[in-house]
C-alpha cells in the first residue's frame, strides 16, 4: 500500500523494522525505507547515484501543496506513510524554523519534539515562545515536548532527527541518537570537523554524503549517521562561491560579515546592545568560517573515505548588525585563473539548479542567484528569495588588491540552518541512506 510509486521502482520489498539489516545504500534504482518508521508502508524512491533523484519525477505532489517550483517534480507520500522525524531544540530559533518549514512536507512528518528539562513535559505551544511570522503548525502545537533522549516520548519511532540544539549539549545527545539508529542532521558546531562527518551543502558538495559509508563502518552504526550543516555565514559564502570555484578556482579570500541578530538564538543580544549599533565580534565565528569553508569546498579522497581540504586561505571578519534575519557578506577573492567581473557573473548565472535537479522537495528554483541591481542584495528585500533557500550575489566588480569583489546574502535560519538540514535529509532519502 505504498503511496509512492515512481517509474523506476521495482517490485515491493518486505517491510523491515528498526533493528533490521542495513538498507543497501548503493541500490541503483530504488531506495527502500523501512516500514516501522513510515506509518506501516514500505516506501520506495527511485534514484540513481549519478543522477540522484532525477528519476523520482513521475507525478505531481498531491498530499501537500507544492511549495516551490521543484515540488511539482517531487513525489508525494500519503500523510500516514511519511518518514517520522524528531526535532531537538524545538523551542529555539532554529528549532522553530524547522517546525515552520516541515509543516506539510511531502516526505517528512514531525512526530517528536525535544528540548531542555525546562520545556520537557509541556505541550509545545506552552513550551515555545513562538517567534515565527506564521502560526505554530496545528499538528505540532499539541505535541508534548520530551527530553532529548532516543528513548523519550515518540523519539524511538523517528528515522530522522533534526537538531537545533545548543552546542553545550548537542555533541553527546546527537551521538546517542545516531548510535540508537537515527540519521541525525545537526546545526551545531560539535561534530562539523570530525574526520568522518560531512558538512553537507547540496548545491556545493553533495558528493560528500559518500563519506557516510566510512562513518558507519568506523562507528559500528547501521542505520544511524551524523550529518552537519555549516555555520550559517559559511553556508551563504560557500554557496555564493561554488560557481566561481568551479569555473576559475579560488586562491584566497577575505570576507567581512554583517550578521543578523537571529543568528545568536533567542532571545539573543539585548536591545541595549544591538539597537543603533554594530558589534565587531561574534565568539568563535571567524575561526569557524576559516576552517569549515576549506572542508566544504574541498573534495573526497579517491576511496571516498577521507576529506581532501581545499587549498585556500580564508580571512574572516565577523560583525553582528541590527538586522533580524539574513547574513550579508562582503567578499574579496583572488582567483587561480584570472577572470573579468562579466565572466564571474556569467559563471554564477550558468550554475545549475543543483538541489532542484536532484529532486529535493524543498529546493528553490536556483540555489544561487545573481542580482544586477546596484544596491542589492539587501537582507530585508532578498532574504526570502526562493523561500529563503536561495543565496543572492550582487555587486560583482574588480578589486584593486585582489581580483574580484562581491556581496552575498543568505537567510541564516533557512538556508543557513533548518532549511539546509532539511535539504540534507532529503538528499539522504534520495540516496537510500535513511532507515
Residues in contact with ligand NAP by the rule CB under 6 A:
89-95, 115-116, 118-119, 148, 164-167, 169-170, 187-188, 232, 262-263, 265-266, 412-413, 416-417
Are 388 and 415 in contact by the 8 Å Cβ rule? The answer is yes
Listed residue (357, 417, 423, 434) closest to 231, CA to CA: 417
Are 44 and 30 in contact by the 8 Å Cβ rule? The answer is yes
Three-class secondary structure of residue 140 per DSSP: helix
CA-to-CA distance for 145 and 110, rounded, in angstroms?
Answer: 12
Active site residue 327: yes
Of 106 and 198, which CB lies nearer to ligand NAP in the complex structure?
Answer: 198
Burial of 303 (0-12, 13-18, 19+ CB in 10 A): exposed
Q: Which residues pair with 408 in a beta bridge?
A: 329, 393
CA-to-CA distance for 105 and 398, rounded, in angstroms?
Answer: 42
Active site residue 408: no
State the Cα torsion 144-100-417-6 to the nearest 10°: 100
Listed residue (265, 277, 275, 281) closest to 319, CA to CA: 281
Cβ of 355: how many Cβ atoms within 10 Å?
31
Q: Give the C-alpha distances (Å, rounded to integers) separating 43 from 183, 213, 311, 429, 430.
A: 17, 22, 41, 10, 11
Alpha helices in 157-284, H assignment, sequence order: 167-179, 202-205, 211-219, 232-248, 271-274
Residue holding cell 577521507? 306
Listed residue (200, 235, 228, 192) closest to 326, CA to CA: 235
CA-to-CA distance for 53 and 7, rounded, in angstroms?
Answer: 12
Q: How far is CA 41 from the centre of its chain?
A: 27
Cβ of 305: how many Cβ atoms within 10 Å?
16
CA-to-CA distance for 352 and 256, rounded, in angstroms?
Answer: 27
Q: Which of 158, 232, 318, 428 is catalytic?
A: 232
**Residues with a known catalytic role:** 232, 327
Amino acid at each position: 500500500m505504498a503511496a509512492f510509486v515512481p517509474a523506476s521502482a521495482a517490485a515491493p520489498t518486505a517491510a523491515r523494522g528498526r533493528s533490521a539489516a542495513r538498507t543497501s545504500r548503493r541500490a541503483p534504482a530504488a531506495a527502500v525505507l523501512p516500514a516501522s518508521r513510515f506509518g506501516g508502508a514500505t516506501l520506495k524512491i527511485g534514484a540513481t547515484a549519478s543522477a540522484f533523484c532525477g528519476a523520482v519525477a513521475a507525478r505531481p505532489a498531491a498530499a501537500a501543496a507544492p511549495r516551490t517550483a521543484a515540488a511539482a517534480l517531487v513525489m508525494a507520500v500519503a500523510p500516514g506513510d511519511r518518514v517520522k522525524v524528531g526535532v531537538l531544540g524545538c523551542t529555539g530559533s532554529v528549532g522553530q524554523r524547522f517546525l515552520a518549514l516541515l509543516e506539510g512536507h511531502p516526505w517528512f512528518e514531525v512526530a517528536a519534539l525535544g528540548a531542555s528539562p525546562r520545556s520537557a513535559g509541556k505541550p509545545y505551544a506552552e513550551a515555545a515562545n513562538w517567534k515565527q511570522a506564521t502560526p505554530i503548525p496545528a499538528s505540532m502545537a499539541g505535541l508534548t515536548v520530551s527530553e532529548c533522549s532516543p528513548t523519550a516520548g515518540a523519539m524511538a519511532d523517528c528515522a530522522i532527527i533534526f537538531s537545533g540544539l545548543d552546542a553545550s549539549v548537542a555533541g553527546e545527545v546527537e551521538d546517542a541518537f545516531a548510535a540508537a539508529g537515527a540519521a541525525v542532521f545537526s546545526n551545531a558546531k560539535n561534530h562539523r570537523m570530525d574526520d568522518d562527518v560531512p558538512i553537507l551543502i547540496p548545491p556545493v558538495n553533495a558528493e560528500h554524503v559518500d563519506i557516510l559509508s566510512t562513518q558507519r563502518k568506523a562507528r559500528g552504526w547501521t542505520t544511524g549517521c551524523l550529518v552537519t550543516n555549516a555555520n550559517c555565514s559559511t553556508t551563504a559564502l560557500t554557496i555564493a562561491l561554488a560557481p566561481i570555484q568551479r569555473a576559475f578556482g579560488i586562491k584566497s579570500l577575505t570576507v567581512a560579515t554583517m550578521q543578523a541578530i537571529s543568528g545568536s538564538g533567542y532571545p539573543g543580544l539585548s536591545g541595549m546592545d544591538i539597537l543603533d549599533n554594530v558589534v565587531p565580534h561574534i565568539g568563535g565565528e571567524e575561526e569557524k568560517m576559516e576552517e569549515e569553508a576549506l572542508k566544504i569546498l574541498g573534495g573526497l579522497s579517491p576511496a571516498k573515505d577521507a576529506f581532501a581540504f581545499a587549498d585556500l586561505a580564508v580571512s574572516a571578519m565577523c560583525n553582528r548588525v541590527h538586522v533580524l534575519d539574513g547574513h550579508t557578506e562582503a567578499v574579496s577573492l583572488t582567483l587561480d585563473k584570472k577572470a573579468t567581473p562579466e565572466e564571474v557573473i556569467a559563471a554564477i548565472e550558468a550554475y545549475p539548479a543543483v538541489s532542484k535537479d536532484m529532486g529535493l522537495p524543498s529546493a528553490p528554483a536556483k540555489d544561487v542567484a545573481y542580482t544586477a541591481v546596484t544596491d542589492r542584495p539587501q537582507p530585508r528585500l532578498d532574504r526570502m528569495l526562493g523561500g529563503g533557500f536561495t543565496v543572492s550575489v550582487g555587486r560583482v566588480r574588480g578589486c584593486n588588491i585582489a581580483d574580484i569583489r562581491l556581496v552575498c546574502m543568505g537567510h541564516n535560519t533557512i538556508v543557513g540552518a533548518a532549511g539546509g538540514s532539511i535539504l540534507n535529509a532529503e538528499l539522504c532519502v534520495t540516496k537510500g541512506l535513511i532507515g
